[in-house]
């Protein structure tokens, strides 16, 4: 069995991940969805961007990279949130 050749562009990840983060946060705010549902929405956005924009002609590659885009957005958001909370706690403990 041969694995499919997946060609991705650096700019796909640079643009896709922030767009997914922004869209998921807007949906969370406007539709008041539970927080546990947001990663699923990010996954769907990642799959959509990858299948319909980045990898139009390769469905296997689109699905494969869509998982990475969606979960990279979730991980980036979680990391940023954790760092901001830690920074605020450190600052409030100093003063």
What local confidence, expressed as pLDDT, does residue 92 receive?
85
Quick: pLDDT tens for 56-92: 888 988 898 999 999 999 999 999 999 999 999 988 8
Confidence of residue 22 (pLDDT cuts 50, 70, 90): very high
95 pLDDT exceeds 90? no
Phi and psi torsions of 3, nearest 5°: -80, 145
What local confidence, expressed as pLDDT, does residue 8 receive?
67
């Amino acid at each position: 069995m041969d694995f499919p050749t997946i060609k991705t562009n650096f700019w796909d990840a640079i643009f896709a991940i922030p767009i997914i983060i922004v869209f998921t946060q807007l949906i969370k705010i406007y539709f008041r969805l539970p927080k546990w549902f947001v990663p699923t929405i990010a996954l769907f956005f990642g799959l959509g961007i990858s299948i319909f924009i980045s990898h139009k002609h390769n469905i296997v590659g689109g699905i494969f990279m869509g998982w990475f885009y969606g979960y990279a957005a979730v991980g980036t958001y979680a990391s940023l949130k954790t760092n901001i909370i830690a920074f605020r706690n450190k600052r409030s403990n100093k003063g």
